[in-house]
Amino acid sequence: EDQVTQSPEALRLQEGESSSLNCSYTVSGLRGLFWYRQDPGKGPEFLFTLYSAGEEKEKERLKATLTKKESFLHITAPKPEDSATYLCAVQQTGSARQLTFGSGTQLTVLP
């Protein structure tokens, strides 16, 4: 069974304190790994797609990396507006069109 596990469940950082969120996955074959940001009471917002081990994507203070078993979302010098829940999801190879999501990491950045 496909599994996606995110850690930690919650993370509190001071403004400017860099850190990383982890997403480990077990799938029979990975087509893509996706990162989303979700603000309270809203739908998830797409951040990145990673397709193969070694790939990296960046957007402002966020950088996503991928290995064969896990992905990291690195947050450099975070600001309070980066506070949100970050979701990881995987899509397996074959005919599957759906994504399997992790439970998310709730990030709070304190001023």
Query: Is residue 41 within the footprint of other proteins (CB under 8 A)?
Result: yes
Query: Is residue 13 within the footprint of other proteins (CB under 8 A)?
Result: no
Query: Is residue 29 within the footprint of other proteins (CB under 8 A)?
Result: no
Query: Is residue 56 within the footprint of other proteins (CB under 8 A)?
Result: no
Q: How many CA atoms lie within 13 A of 32 on its CB side?
A: 9
What whole-number distance in Å separates Cα of residue 55 and Cα of residue 8? 23
- CB of 34 or CB of 72, closer to other proteins: 34
Query: Is residue 31 within the footprint of other proteins (CB under 8 A)?
Result: yes
- Give, for 1, the enclosing helix (H) or strand (E): none
Query: Is residue 87 within the footprint of other proteins (CB under 8 A)?
Result: yes
The DSSP call for residue 13 is E
**Residue 4 structure tokens:** 């996606």
Triad 23, 27, 32: Cα angle to 5°: 65
Chain residues binding other proteins by CB under 8 A are 31-32, 34, 36, 41-46, 49, 87, 89, 91, 95-104
